[in-house]
Amino acid sequence: MVKVGIVGLTGCSGCQCEILNCQDALLKLLTLVDFALFPLAKDGEFDGELDLLFVEGSVSTFLDKEKLLKLREKAKILVAVGSCACYGGVQAQRNDEAELEQMIREVYGKWELPFELFKPSPLSDFVEVDYFLPGCPVDKKQFVYTVASLLNGVKPFFPKLPVCHECKLSENECLLLKGVPCQGPVSYAGCGAPCTAKGVGCQGCRGDCDFPNHQEMLSLLTQRGLSYEDAVKFLKVFRGNSFKVRGLNEKGA
């Protein structure tokens, strides 16, 4: 039977909970695969080879790094699950703004901690990642589709269209045109645009679509009343280290 591992590094475990929420699909998967390593869902140790490994969370401690390197050696295919694993996550959003010590002192009030850590980073900074499934949390359908594809020897493929594409297919009224800050034009679709359907602007939790125009997005956001600094912070929430824009420090893009 195909051996599957699902593990978490630094994160909220929300993606693993979302996988558990797959319910019927998960029950079917149980007849096809052996979830050999899934600490959130089952007891016991497993130290053998894995056919498929899903890793959630960012690499933020030396323990995370050690665990990841060890697991990579045992896994034939590694999938980064969720935006922490893919981009560093929310915890990486200010990585380029301060030194680690300054951030630790700000959060914990001291520098000395009982564990060694570094700035939150995506898995791909340390190991080869075969597939990326971003999202906060990961999309259940995409997780199931990925497992089904890989079990059938097919490479999972998700086109990096903007969220606006799915938002328009759902016939939602455009929030950006109504003055609500929304990152749909530069964010990676695949979620079905649930936020805009509820009247909340896209927060970009799945990272960038292909060819994102951050400069123009910043311009649209400032036209909707955000200061340039707040617009930059808004775009950086889930993009962390991956957010790059020419003239980032210039006011009034």
* Contacting residues toward ligand SF4, per CB under 6 A: 163-164, 167-168, 172, 174-176, 182, 184-185, 187, 191, 193-196, 202-206
CB of 99 to ligand SF4, least distance (A): 30
Name the residue with the smallest CB distance to ligand SF4: 184
C-alpha–C-alpha distance, residues 225 and 192, integer Å: 27
Tokens linked to 202: 């896209």
Using an 8 Å Cβ cutoff, are 183 and 198 in contact?
Answer: no
Q: Which residue number, 142 or 146, has a Cβ lying nearer to ligand SF4? A: 142
Q: CB of residue 84 vs ligand SF4: minimum separation in angstroms?
A: 14
Please, which residue, 15 or 205, has the CB nearer to ligand SF4? 205
Nearest residue (CB) to ligand SF4, 35 versus 243: 243
> How do the residues of the chain divide into helix, strand and coil, expressed in percent and rounded to 5?
40, 20, 40
Shortest spacing between CB 215 and ligand SF4, in angstroms: 16
**Whose structure tokens read 């790094």?**
65
**Phi-psi label, residue 153: left if phi above 0, alpha if psi -120 to 50, beta otherwise:** left
Structure tokens at 80: 């980064």
Question: In the bound complex, what is the minimum distance in angstroms from residue 54's beta carbon to ligand SF4?
Answer: 19
Nearer to ligand SF4, 119 or 239 (CB): 239
For ligand SF4, which is the closer residue by CB, 89 or 204?
204
